[in-house]
Amino acid sequence: MKTRVLILGAGFGGLELSTLLSEAFGDEVDVTLIDKNEHFIFGYSKLDVMFGLKTPEAVRLPYRNFVKTGVRFLRQTITAIDPGARRVTTDAGSYEADVMVVALGADYDLDATPGLSDEGSEFYSEAGAERMRGMVHDFSKGRAVIGVSAAPYKCPPAPSECALLLHDHLTKKGVRGRCEITLVLPLGSPVPPSPETSRALVGAFSERGIKFVPSRRVASLDPGRRVTVLDDGSELPYDLFLGVPKHRAPKVVEESGMAEDGWVPVNPRTLETRFPGVYAVGDIANTGTPKAGVFAEAAARAVAASLTARIRGDGQSGAYTGAGSCYIEFGAGKIGRVDVDFFSGPSPRGTYHEPSVALRSEKEHFGSSRRARWFGL
């Protein structure tokens, strides 16, 4: 009988895992991949959309193009997960498997920051980035605040990239002199595992007149007074607020009993949960590594190696390396890169690569190679 594998969520983790299983086994394995959305988008595309660099349509990668031998894609919403029975219920049916992999990502808790939903100004969801596109377009005078409500948050460099891209956007419009930009981060530095990357970013902020407020989080917004309230009670007035909401596990995962302290605990090397035959990869899993697509993908590779060994019966298991490279938009067409490694030393380490035009083409290749590999586009 074929091994049945259920993969919950077709983001970075789910897409890579399904692709690897298809490559290894073709239709000798029965893989079911479930996602509620009609398309995937790269996280960084949200910045492109918000700053008017790409249209929302141009960055959507439709799942109808995800065609892999042995993989059945179901566009359904998961409403319940029973990890003990390795069973999920969706709005259209119920599915059981020999192996279940939870790759449902992180959701946002807008209500944790009073005033944030009233203002409608977060850019971390696809809908939010599309909504903010108009607000950013219309902004030509006053104070812009980019603020994060809580750590952990996806792609730690992204709020810094947002500040630098906003500077470029306003400069191109000829209105930078009439605008102030302030960046509020709950972390002590923009990229804590790499002091060199953090120094470069803080240097770029100061060259561009961007005010950086570290170690503070946005506690609430007062849309009536147009004021951001930080966790020490201080206030920052804004005319444009660009927010990163508090992250949380999707409700269906919380209700499944798999989450502890907000996320799903796993063995950080094998990605196994405490439920036999159930793994968790990507943003949903508590591995001690950042919430970023490259890390979700690396975790998926480790699970694919373990499943391949298990199905072939050779007993080897894959190990998650906890390492990955993140591209960072520095503005002015240049991109930097930080290679971070969380597991091989006593503490996380990062290696910084200076911004260059050459790294822009490397980032473009990062996107186009995955678009081709997963979607054949």
Interacting residues with ligand FAD (CB under 6 A):
9-14, 34-37, 43-44, 46-47, 77-78, 103-105, 124, 154-155, 158, 250, 252, 282-284, 291-294, 296, 326-327
Whole-angstrom distance, CA of residue 293 vs CA of residue 301: 12
DSSP track, 277-322:
TEEE-GGGEE-SS-S-HHHHHHHHHHHHHHHHHHHHT---------
326: DSSP letter: E
The phi and psi torsions of 348 (rounded to 5 degrees) equal -60, 145
Closest CA to 330 of 168, 195, 187: 168
Task: Pick between residue 15 and residue 236 the one whose CB is nearest to ligand FAD.
Answer: 15
Shortest Cβ distance from residue 83 to ligand FAD (Å)?
15
Shortest Cβ distance from residue 2 to ligand FAD (Å)?
23
Task: Pick between residue 190 and residue 293 the one whose CB is nearest to ligand FAD.
Answer: 293
Task: Pick between residue 78 and residue 303 the one whose CB is nearest to ligand FAD.
Answer: 78
Shortest Cβ distance from residue 184 to ligand FAD (Å)?
16
Closest CA to 213 of 242, 241, 234: 234
Shortest Cβ distance from residue 132 to ligand FAD (Å)?
11
Whole-angstrom distance, CA of residue 327 vs CA of residue 331: 12
From residue 319, give the alpha-carbon distance in Å to each of 179, 300, 322, 372. Answer: 48, 10, 9, 26
Q: What would the two tokens of residue 149 be?
A: 């409500």
Task: Pick between residue 229 and residue 330 the one whose CB is nearest to ligand FAD.
Answer: 330
Shortest Cβ distance from residue 294 to ligand FAD (Å)?
4
Question: Which residue of this chain has its Cβ atom nearest to ligand FAD in the complex?
Answer: 11
Shortest Cβ distance from residue 140 to ligand FAD (Å)?
23
Task: Pick between residue 282 and residue 331 the one whose CB is nearest to ligand FAD.
Answer: 282
Task: Pick between residue 240 and residue 294 the one whose CB is nearest to ligand FAD.
Answer: 294
From residue 296, give the alpha-carbon distance in Å to each of 57, 257, 285, 352. Answer: 25, 22, 9, 21
